[in-house]
Structure 1
Amino acid sequence: MSARSTDHTTITIERHFKAPLSRVFNAWAIPEHKQQWFACHGEWKQLDFQLDFRSGGSESNRTAATDGVVHAYEARYIDVIQNERFIYAFDMMLDEVRISVSLATVSFAPEPGGTKMTFVEQVVFLDGYSDSGSRLMGTEIGFDNLRLYVEGDNGRPN
């Protein structure tokens, strides 16, 4: 039996987009929009995606890496305030092994020429999983894709 452990960290990312607040918010909220930017690895194969973006709703995203490992993301939306913020809890799994559990808050504010978005993730890595910064890196890549999407490139950014 493997040793049980928890490793807590917080990730905070602030981004400024040259796009209206409603466009940035809807990029998260509308399934067809989110699918355009959410992946952080363009060469991975999409297996399943479902999004019910509302308080009490859920999201499921499963992809297969080039080595065949299935990356699963299961989220539960706790609080959604249109064009202001949303809070959600989510699990990340590699194949059938849960590697982390997180609580995330995403807030939005209009600013001259666009939108300020602040993302805060409180994450617990489980049972010796060594993240080595890959969560932050993957999230940053996803937000780079979000920028491409909301600032005018409606095609898949990756």
Structure 2
Amino acid sequence: MSQDLSHDTISISRRIKAPRERVFSAWEDPQARSIWGPPSEDESIEFLENDFREGGLDVHLCGQKSDLRFRVETHYYEIRRPQRLLFTERVTMDSSSLSVSLVSVEIRKIGSVTELEVTIQIASLAGSGMIEGTRNGWQRALSNLTAYLEARKVEAE
């Protein structure tokens, strides 16, 4: 599994028809993250630890529902409600490091919508495939987040 070290910066934006407090809350709640976080219906996230606070650590397993092979450790460095998150993610499989990322999440109110800007600075220890997997996973998860929040708006009305 040892390949060349690869780096990239991934930037993803979404405009969500929901108040920014609700957008922020969807990051804070592990049950919500378990719903919108998996990139497809065949994948799942299972939280082992949840400590959403500055200095806190979340640990979850993810992957195909029948094979949660990836372990993700998330360390929180800044949580500024409801506008910003700054954290690192370390992804491992069988004790081997696959990637380490610095992730910043900006949540801005723009008129009646919330703009979400996520920037992932990734160092992959498993080649460019890990970077593409990260990019695709985050894009799908943020599309799921948008659908999740906008569907809840309809339910609330």
Aligned residue number for residue 8 of structure 2: 9
**CA RMSD of superposed structures (Å):** 2.2
Q: What is the TM-score of this pair, normalised by structure 1?
A: 0.85
Seen in structure 2, the aligned counterparts of structure 1 residues 33 and 130 have a Cα distance that, compared at 3 Å, is: closer
Judged with a 3 Å threshold, the aligned counterparts in structure 2 of structure 1 residues 107 and 64 are, in CA distance, closer, same or farther, namely: closer
Aligned length: 153
In the alignment, structure 1 residue 27 sits paired with structure 2 residue 26 = yes
TM superposition shift of 1:127: 4.8
Task: Give 5+ residue unaligned stretches, structure 1.
Answer: none
Deviation (angstroms), 1:73: 1.0
Distance in 2, matches of 1:103 and 1:79, equals 12
Aligned pairs for 1:72-111 within 5 A: 72-111=71-110
Map of 2:121 onto structure 1? 122
Moved over 6 A (4+): none
Q: Structure 2 unaligned runs (5+)?
A: none
Describe the superposition over 1:111-158 as per-residue Cα deviations: whole angstroms up to 9, x where unpaired: 11210111001000015463362211111110111011111248xxxx
TM-score (norm 2): 0.86
